[in-house]
A and B are shown apart, each in its own frame.
Chain A
Amino acid sequence: MRIAIPHGTLAASAARLNSRFFAAAIFLCVLLLVGVAASALFLRQAMEANARQLLAADLRLQAALPIAPEVRAGLLPDAVLRFARQHLDGAERLFSPGLEFSAMARVEGTARSLLVEVKAVAADYPLRGRVQLEGDITLSAALADGVVVEKSLLNRLGLRVGDVLQLGERSFAITAALAYEPDRITHLFSLGPRLLIALDRVASTGLIQAGSRVTQVVSIRLGEGEEAAALARSIQAQAKEAGIQTRTPEQSQPSVRRFIRRFVLFLALTALLTLLVGGMAMTGAMAAFLRESRRTIAILKLLGANTGQMVLLVMWSTLRMVWAASLAAGVLGVMLPGLLPRLLEGLVPAEAHYQPSVGLALAGSGLGIVFSLLCAAGPLWWSRSITPAQLFRSSAWGDEREPLGGRKGVWLGLLLSAVTLCAALAIGVWSGEAHFGLLFVGGVVGLLLLAWAMVRLSLWGMRCWRPRRHAWQLAMHALLRRGEGYETVMISLGIGLGLVAAVLFLEDNLNQQLLNRMPQRMPSYFFIDIQPDQLAQFQSLAAPFVASQPDAMRIFPTVRGRLLQEDQPVAADEERPQAWRKSREYVLTYTDNIPVGNRLVAGQWWADPTVREASVEVEMAKGLGLGIGDLLSFSIQGVTITARITSLRAVRWSDLGLNFFVIFSPAVLQDVPLSYLASVVTSPDQEEALLAAISGRLHNVSAIATRVVLERVQGLLQQVAQSVRLLGGGAVVAGLLVLGVSVAASRRRRAHEMTLYRLLGASRWEVARIAAVEFMLLGLLSAAMALLIGQAVTALAVEGLLNDVWGFNAGLAAAAFVGGTAVIALTGWVGSYREMGRPVMALLRGKIS
């Protein structure tokens, strides 16, 4: 159909403000959605493009198997290498053996030492990708003369390239600093900086002892046209039998992938929340826009415009409003990952190069335009009620109801929620996290219901409240009269602010939990790999530093064992750690008494240490389908040990103390070669001295500083929190847009009201105060709702997901409350400031109608 009506027909100056709100809302929504999508694509591309590099090979076999004493001198990953030769031998295949373990690096003659992640590599490492060193030196040259370390190690130990470093019993020259290591991101958390050393030199350090935690690695380069995945599948059964894990590029870093997937999903869902609130703003703005244009619409209808022409006209007007904003937001959105590199720092290899995608920008803009048209559809439908008959009645134009008042707002909320929730669910299913998506959908539905109920309740409460102050009375009347329209405003603001509040509270809770508790309850260090003959020395060395509190030093005999379950098919599901992997390695221990921080939930603790019994952590037991009376078997260095489960324990993990999934009675591990694991609590100023004392004498003992681990966890959380805060900010802005729309829509009526007050003798100051009180009430209600939402989300997350006690920070809550109220009140008040100063004569002359 031809639309010959000039496109600007529906753009009365009065309506222009609404079209700006509309454009601003779509800009915000598209920007956030495209930004998140671009980040997700970037992460995925970086992962895929670098997958082969990230493994530094085509296929990788690894196992934390003990090194047999007879080959310890050669220090080859004998078991894994033997397995590879046996099952994978081929003319074109290259095997590159390696070892990975942690150890203490020390500076001779000083007390400085640091836990490092050692990677011992053969001469042909890496088989894929390249190692980049700082300065003009090749890897083989660097490893021939010494070791290569990450720069952070140099900074933290105060060393430079060329200096000497102690590792175990030997000293090595640092020949180069590591700039990029292809297979660096194998874990999200690393305990220390990387150190590369030639495989044939490891033996001389004396670090590899019985029971040492060493991962044997064999990297494999395949021949032309060979498929890593198929090969891995063909040896799967034998590998499992031997306790060896296979890794193809596609399944490298499952934990990193999972984290990134969840992270992106979380961002996407948060962005959808903004879309929900933004959609409310847009529909409100469009409804107000059409209402401002209703006389024109009536005239067009009178002159013979039919439904099709009206639809086209409104759609055209919508397009005119949004195309530029959508396009700009799309372009800016795809540039976001490049503009905000900090958000993705550490998640993508430093090498990965971001390339904005034109297609994504256009798709995002297109989606924004479609969404705008969708948001225009409701108001267009409502505009059916504008009839030319009103042209015959001069008084019919005074109608100034809220654009989203009453049932319209409810319907709109339902519709938009349905759209958003379907999208959320679709995204969840699509990214393989349907469970997460469902959780989110449930959460949002709950949130909306909660918000709606609270708005209703507070409006009802206000109706019953009779303030004595005059200004408050008038303001409340104004608020109640506009109450219908303010419902959507309050819900939008409540959700937006609530999201930000939740992030704040959650972050605060985690900080409190992780860092502030540390000095009193958490060990400063875990010392691992203490040999039986070193135990006495260790105790005497540590004794002067141990804090004077019960259990400040705890020592457990430990051994690694692989869980055996003959009767059930073994499903090693790398992608889902919570589906307890059944060939997983566990750290096993024995004790006489139940350790502190553990609580029996079923069965009895053993009374007789000579009986073979086991106690299992309750969540693990649930995951594995184990119960009291079942037999539990582990393979420890090739020997199978078995015990009957006689108790289940609940463990408070958040204390970060020494805790074990499986504890045996002393009889079970009697003849097993053990090493000792110790946790020590010391005062912060003693930490360095303790570390120096131990690592100076017991070279093979590694110390893990809890503070370092926690700082890493915290850094990662902060990264997530930062992104969510950014998106939450978007949701708040969307909420403020809804407020803006409402204020703009009631502008004329407000002007009328205020001028009338002044005609009746109120001063300008008093009028301004009435408006201030009105918006403050609105702000108070919305902020209170946000606070409740924020606290509810936090409590659920902390208690439900982290299994911890949720803490309320009154100061932070008060700050969030005051801040939220202030932002809302100021926005509303400033938005209606112009209406307070209209000349009184304007009212008398009928210029304000």
Chain B
Amino acid sequence: MIHLDQVSFSLIHSGQKLSILKNISLSVAKGEVVGLLGPSGSGKSTLLALLAGVEQATAGVVQVNGVRLNGLSSDQLAHFRRQHLGVVFQEFHLVPTLTAWENVALPLDLAGLPGSRQRAMAMLEQVGLAHRANHRPTELSGGEQQRVAIARAFVGCPPLILADEPTGNLDQNTSQHIIDLLFSCVAAWGSTLFLVTHDPQLARRADRCLHLVDGCLEGSQPCG
């Protein structure tokens, strides 16, 4: 599903080269749940951005679900994301002007798929928010927003889900619900999940964990 080969990412900032990711190689099999751990600023989110095709690796090869992302145009990358990817963020990132169901339907609409409304409603039903379908994000609690975001990530049945600290903004109880939902969705759709987290409890539920320190992968270790 995911193949990274000697991937590096660096930025030029005020004339200085900043190496953020260094020589990362990894493979993730289809259906696997991988946890990514590491201190703040170690480059976890940057790695997700590379996998999502919103940043381009400065060196090495990034391949996701058989698509080689290096050198693709921004429109080709957009097309790739439509077909292969769902993303869940710590800050939910819902469109504030759209209702819950419209947010969920957005990926289908962008892909020009028919029946987006029914599928979005069905998906909201799955995450238990059918009764809030016509509410806007500001009228929803954090947990509810994250559930909408999860519905949006899964609505197109993408083979890969990227999650960047999905419970970082939620309380213990809600977190538990969200994680349960996420994992049950992954199980139901058979998706691959790449999960960034600080939460050791959450990490323990992954098939395996990767540790990122200072932009370097410390190798696969048992989780927790």
Residues of A within 8 A of B48 (CB): 392
| Residue of B82, B106, B112 with highest tally of chain A CB at under 10 A | B106
Task: With A302-B87, A392-B54 as known contacts, state yes or no: A4 contacts B93, CB within 8 Å.
Answer: no
Q: Are B81 and A304 in contact (CB under 8 A)?
A: yes
Interface status of B109 (Cβ within 8 A of chain A): yes
Of the candidates A6, A305, A389, A391, the one whose C-beta lies within 8 Å of that of B78 is A305
Is the C-beta of A110 less than 8 angstroms from some C-beta in chain B?
A: no
Interface contact A302-B81, CB-CB below 8 Å: yes
Residues of B contacting A394 with CB < 8 Å?
A: 90-91
Chain B residues closer than 8 Å to A387, beta-carbon distance: 54
Query: Interface size class for chain B?
Result: 20 to 34
Contact B93 A304 (CB under 8 A): no
One digit per residue, 1 when the CB lies within 8 angstroms of any chain B CB and 0 when it does not, for chain A 589-611 equals 00000000000000000000000
A303 near B82: Cβ-Cβ < 8 Å: yes
The verdict on A398 contacting chain B, using a C-beta distance below 8 Å, is no
Whether a CB of chain A sits under 8 angstroms from the CB of B89 is yes
A12 on the B face (CB < 8 A): yes
In the complex, the answer to whether A306 meets B75 with C-beta atoms within 8 Å is yes
Give per-residue flags for B87-113: 1 if the beta carbon is below 8 A from chain A beta carbons, else 0: 101110111111000100011011110
Known contacts A302-B52, A389-B55; is A12 also within 8 Å of B78 by CB?
Answer: no
CA A156 – CA B96 in complex, angstroms? 72
Assembled-state Cα–Cα distance A296/B106 (Å): 12
Alpha-carbon gap, A392 to B54, bound state (A): 10
B74 touches A392 (CB 8 A): no
Instruction: Determine how close the nearest CB of chain A comes to the CB of B139; give it in whole angstroms.
Output: 14
Known contacts A296-B97, A304-B82; is-contact A4 B112 (Cβ 8 Å): yes
A392/B78 contact (C-beta < 8 A), A8-B97, A303-B106 known: no
Q: Do residues A296 and B112 form an inter-chain contact, with CB atoms below 8 A?
A: no
Q: Which of A2, A4, A298, A387 has the most CB of B within 10 A?
A: A4
- Asked whether, in the complex, the Cβ of B78 is within 8 Å of the Cβ of A304, the reply is yes
For A4, the chain B residues whose CB sits under 8 A away are 109-110, 112, 116
The number of A-B residue pairs with CB atoms under 8 Å apart is: 84
Task: Tell me, rounded to whole Å, the shortest Cβ–Cβ distance linking B9 to chain A.
Answer: 11
Q: Judge whether B45 is part of the interface by a CB distance below 8 angstroms.
A: yes
Which residues of A have CB within 8 Å of B98? 6, 8-9
> Is B74 touching A299 in the complex (CB atoms < 8 A)?
no
Residue B175 CB within 8 A of the other chain: no
- Do A12 and B97 touch (CB < 8 A)? yes
Contact of A392 among B96, B116, B152, B164 (CB under 8 A): B164
A9 proximity list for chain B (CB < 8 A): 95, 97-98
Q: A306-B75, A394-B90 are in contact. Are A6 and B102 (CB under 8 A)?
A: yes
Residue on B nearest A389 in the bound complex, by CB: B54
Segment 300-338 of A: residues with Cβ below 8 Å from B: 300-309
Neighbour of B46 across the interface among A6, A298, A299, A392, CB < 8 A: A392
A543 within 8 A of B: no
- Against B, the Cβ 8 Å flags (1 = close, 0 = not) of A41-68 are 0000000000000000000000000000
- Also in contact, A303 and B54, with CB within 8 A (given A2-B112, A392-B164): no
Closest approach, in angstroms, between the C-beta of A289 and any C-beta of chain B? 13
Q: How far is the CA of A298 from the CA of B93 in the complex (A)?
A: 9
Residues of B within 8 A of A301 (CB): 54, 74, 78
Provide the residues of chain B in CB contact with A296, threshold 8 Å: 95-97
Q: How far is the CB of B92 from chain A (nearest CB, A)?
A: 10
Question: Which residues of chain B in 168-216 are interfacial with respect to chain A, using CB atoms and an 8 Å cutoff?
Answer: none
Shortest beta-carbon distance from A250 to chain B in Å: 59
Q: Which of A1-24 contact B (CB under 8 A)?
A: 2, 4-6, 8-12
CA distance A387 to B106 in the complex (A): 18
- Whether A388 sits at the interface, judged by CB under 8 Å, is yes
Among A8, A309, A392: residue with most chain B CB under 10 A: A392
For residue A295, which residue of chain B has the nearest CB? B93
Q: Would A5 and B110 count as touching, CB distance under 8 A? A: yes
A280-308 CB contacts (< 8 Å) to partner B: 295-296, 298-308
CB-contact partner of B95 in A299, A304, A308, A392, under 8 A: A299
- Asked if B82 and A393 make an inter-chain contact with CB atoms under 8 angstroms apart, the answer reads no
Mark interface residues in A141-157 (1 if CB within 8 Å of B CB, else 0): 00000000000000000
In whole angstroms, how far apart are the Cα atoms of A5 and B97 in the complex? 12
Alpha-carbon gap, A2 to B112, bound state (A): 7
Contacting residues, chain B, for A307 (C-beta < 8 A): 74-75
Does B1 lie at the interface of the complex (its beta carbon under 8 Å from any beta carbon of A)?
no
Q: Which residues does chain A contribute within 8 Å of B109, judged by CB atoms? A: 4-5
A387 to B78: give the CA distance in the assembly, Å.
11
Chain A residues within an 8 Å CB radius of B79 = 304, 306
Q: Does B49 contact A (CB under 8 A)?
A: yes
Contacts A9-B98, A299-B93 given: A304-B46 contact, CB under 8 Å?
no
Q: Which residues in A have their C-beta under 8 angstroms from that of B55? A: 389
Q: In the complex the two chains form, is A303's CB within 8 Å of B81's CB?
A: yes
Q: Using CB atoms, name the residue of chain A closest to B85.
A: A304
- Per-residue CB contact flags for chain A residues 246-271 toward chain B (1 = under 8 Å, else 0) read 00000000000000000000000000
Contacts of B45 in A (CB 8 A): 392-393
The residues of A that contact B54 with a CB separation of less than 8 Å are 301-302, 387-389, 391-392
Please report the C-alpha to C-alpha distance between residue A10 and residue B96 in the assembled complex, in whole angstroms.
Answer: 9
A169-B116 Cα distance, complex, nearest whole Å: 98
Give CA–CA (A303, B89) in the complex, Å: 13
Which one of A303, A305, A387 has the highest number of Cβ atoms from chain B below 10 Å of its Cβ?
A303
Chain A proximity mask over B39-57: 1 for CB below 8 Å, otherwise 0 = 0000001101100101100
Q: B82: which A residues are within 8 A, CB to CB?
A: 303-304
The proximity string for A residues 357-393 relative to B, scoring 1 for CB distances below 8 Å and 0 otherwise, is: 0000000000000000000000000000001110111
- Return B123 CB to nearest CB of chain A, in Å: 14
B41 smallest CB distance to A (angstroms): 11
A-B contact pairs, 18 of them (CB 8 A): A5-B109, A5-B110, A9-B98, A11-B97, A296-B95, A301-B78, A302-B52, A302-B87, A303-B107, A303-B110, A304-B78, A304-B81, A307-B75, A308-B75, A387-B54, A392-B49, A392-B89, A394-B91
Q: Which 5 A-B pairs give the minimum distances between C-beta atoms? A: A304-B82, A4-B109, A392-B45, A388-B54, A306-B75
Task: Other than A309-B110, A389-B54, give 19 A-B pairs with Cβ distance below 8 A.
Answer: A4-B116, A5-B110, A6-B102, A8-B97, A296-B97, A299-B93, A300-B95, A303-B152, A304-B78, A304-B82, A306-B78, A307-B74, A387-B54, A389-B49, A391-B54, A391-B89, A392-B46, A392-B49, A392-B164
Chain A interface (Cβ within 8 Å of chain B)? 2, 4-6, 8-12, 295-296, 298-309, 387-389, 391-394
